[in-house]
Amino acid sequence: MGKTKIVIVIGVLVVLLGGYYFYLSNYKMPEEETVITKVQEVLLKNLDTDYPPTPREVIKYYSEITKCLYNETYTEEQLEQMADKLLALYDSELAANNPREQYLIDLKKDVKDFSDKGYSIVKYTTSTSTDVDFYSHEGRECAKLYCTYSIKSGADYKSSQQVFVLRKDTDDGHWKILGFDIVTPEN
């Protein structure tokens, strides 16, 4: 009877060791998740192959970049890359009025002023698809829409509404920002 117990115990140990070996040999280490920052996310968008298809989508992407510029931490190189993305969304006329070097200087100043005042952009809301005003001007397709930015300063919140005018590019058919302005409430 003693030998039978020993054989059973040895058999159980062999099965346990074999199972453990099988588990270890098939165990895969969990892969580290790569965390992509919001800045990296907006910079990953390739406008050559994935340009926003509608005026509303152009303004949404513009606003995502704007939120990153005014809220996130980034390098000088990333700031320049975001500025280049914004310039790529501009119509050729607007881009011509904003030479890159001067645009970078103005953008850095705006971001610093915004930050010095303790502001941050909490969220933005664009016009719905049905609220985009499409029209023709001098034979070119144009669109007008609004975007409201919710801005926080300390415990206070305020909103700023901008109107955007976009024009369809004749070369590639992309909607480009022709101009924008802050909407001031009428008294």
Q: What is the pTM (predicted TM-score) of this model?
A: 0.80
Residue 59: pLDDT band (50, 70, 90) is very high
Query: Which stretch of 19-33, 57-71, 95-109, 111-125 has the lowest confidence by average pLDDT?
Result: 19-33
169 within 8 A of 150, measured Cβ to Cβ: no
What contacts 12, CB < 8 A, 6 or more positions away? Answer: none
Q: In the predicted model, is pLDDT for residue 187 greater than 60?
A: no
In this prediction, residue 73 carries a pLDDT of 94
Domains of the chain: residue spans and CATH: 38-182 (3.10.450.100)
